[in-house]
Structure 1
């Protein structure tokens, strides 16, 4: 009887152990599946992270390039502003020079008009003198003929 009881208890224990083993094996398989699923999710998450990192790196490069362009544009604008100031200074100098030349030209035109008028008067005097000499010559001739 004791032997029978031992057999029954042994079988019962073996069954229990087998059930526990099956439960443990099932848990182990489930855990492996979960680990495998988690590994796949981790790989996908790492890929997304790498893609996001690449996008961020590209955006940072674009931003750096844009910033460099803005800096270059600022430098160019500063150079153009300085050049514009120089050109404005030259324009002012040239404007003053033009005004001086206009005044000089006006003075020379007046002087030219005065000299032209004097020349005309001198030519009229010359013509008048020529006519007077011709008349004197004619008068002398008439006097010579009358003698």
Structure 2
């Protein structure tokens, strides 16, 4: 016998303009940075060369921007908000790298609902978020707006 549990994620209908979602936190490690360099093939010296980095403003290797974004996506997934209700990431606008993330920095994702738009299909809708990746010291590391496609709540 198969039991299909109801999704624990939020449906399009559940989101409200101005609603904020704050994730738990995760510390970026040197292992994360090295593993991402290996995975992506991006061995740029600002990420991998301690001696070179001594000549930069950061003074040490920094995390890749897409690595920080990916960790934030994982933190969002862990909230359960998207579980069984998210259909697609549609668009990212204005992705800004505002502050470097180094190993030992702890980040969390703050998302605020900016807009909701029903789709013409009726069974889904687009939610636009302001997404900010915030470091443990309160500094914003990255900021963007992102549009996601969510299922609508099934009619009873």
Scaled by the length of structure 1, the TM-score of the pair is 0.17
Flag the structure with higher strand content.
Answer: 2
Greater relative contact order, per chain length (Cα 8 Å cut-off, separation 6+): 2
Scaled by the length of structure 2, the TM-score of the pair is 0.16
Highest Rg: 1 or 2? 1
Flag the structure with higher helix content.
Answer: 1
